[in-house]
Amino acid sequence: MAEKTLSVSELTKRIKGELESIFPAVSVKGEVSNCKKHSSGHIYLTLKDEGAQIPAVIWKHTAARIKTTVEDGICVIAEGRLEVYPPSGRYQLICSALTEEGEGALQLAFAALLRKLAGLGWFSEESKKMPPRFPETIGLITSPTGAVIEDMQNVLSRRFPSAALRLYPVKVQGRDAALSVREAISWFNRESRNRPDVIIIARGGGSMEDMQAFNEESVAEAIHRSAIPIISAIGHETDITIADMVADLRAGTPSIAAELAVPDSLELLRHIAAHAATQSGLVMGKVQGAEREVDSIRGSYAFNRPLSMLQQFEERVEGMRDRMARSLQGTYRNTLQRYQAALSHLNLLDYRKTLERGYVLVQKEGNVVTDGRSLKESEAVELWFHDGTIPASLTGKLRSRP
């Protein structure tokens, strides 16, 4: 006999306390059955395998966050806690998260790669490259089908029509999708002609399995090592991939990626016009200020006094020039008179004038004879007249004058 008899409520309460404390957090794999979606937004279901089953509930606020479509027959991994529900005397799993069985493995791989690349610093701002402000060529890596290409072309033609779009078609999901994306990144980086200034990697939304190529480490490494800045636009705005976090910029949609890649040409023109108007106003203000300053200086005493002094100097220079001209004229006349007097005096001293008066100049051997005693009989001499010379020979000696 037990020491104490418990009521049903007391026993259930003790079971509830023990069970919930032992299993505060569990992860359970099973097949969904008896799935019922209540009008309140709650989802009620049973998880089962070949040996057992457990009831489960997904409250409304949790159901809104679950991307998996919950329906009978799918295998899932449910995370949550055990709860005992006293009114019915049964326990159930309160789900905090639910993914398909394949997605659960992908989530674990995603988390592991996320930790590894974060440790390598591939998500840090220091590893990011800033795309150019005005790209001439944009490389697009995406599927050749779908609306991505058309959406981006529409955005580019509207915002920045001068930018050229170069498409490298790739597989964006399934087998070999990661290899296809890596080859596209490598090809754009090897290009020498028409090398893009920025690369956009884009695809539409989908499940985690659909976007698995963009959670591969090899694709993350290709993005990280790209010399060309890369903008990632993978899935919808609520989706997030490893490629998004490694890329230099992340866009919620391909259209947003195109807007991030190029400026708005109309906005640029408005900015240029406003800047030109501002600069024109500044220049005109400086010109007008300079004009007022010049007018002020021109009207000032300090500016006009030099002009007055300059006029006085000009008058003094003019007077000095007149005086110098008169002085030079007088000096010239005096010099001319002295020159003419000296010339007349020199004319009087000219031996030719003496010869014209009847005198004769005697030369011997090229020298003028001034002493008759130096001449000997029969010596040859030369007689100079005013109009020519005559050779002569002496026939006697010098006779003294009476």
Query: Tens of pLDDT along 318-355?
Result: 888 888 888 888 888 888 888 888 887 777 777 777 77
pTM for this predicted structure:
0.50
The 361-364 sheet, strands edge to edge: 367-368, 361-364, 380-385, 388-393
Query: Tens of pLDDT along 134-156?
Result: 999 999 999 988 788 888 889 98
Query: What does the pLDDT read at residue 3?
Result: 63
Query: What does the pLDDT read at residue 302?
Result: 65
Lowest mean pLDDT among 117-126, 166-175, 190-199, 262-271: 262-271
Q: How is residue 67 written in tokens?
A: 């991307």
Assess whether pLDDT exceeds 50 at residue 223.
yes
> What are the residue boundaries of the structural domains of the chain, listed by start?
8-101, 121-266, 353-393
Query: What does the pLDDT read at residue 184?
Result: 94
Class of domain 8-101: mainly beta
CATH 3.40.50.10550 fits 121-266, yes or no: yes
167 versus 207: the higher-pLDDT residue is 167
Q: What average pLDDT does the segment 21-30 reach? A: 88
Assess whether pLDDT exceeds 80 at residue 397.
no
The 164-169 sheet, strands edge to edge: 164-169, 137-142, 198-203, 230-234, 249-250
Q: What average pLDDT does the segment 222-232 reach? A: 94
Query: What does the pLDDT read at residue 57?
Result: 94
Query: What does the pLDDT read at residue 1?
Result: 47
Query: Tens of pLDDT along 357-385?
Result: 788 888 888 888 778 777 877 788 888 88
Q: What average pLDDT does the segment 264-290 reach? A: 84
Query: What does the pLDDT read at residue 104?
Result: 59
95 versus 240: the higher-pLDDT residue is 95
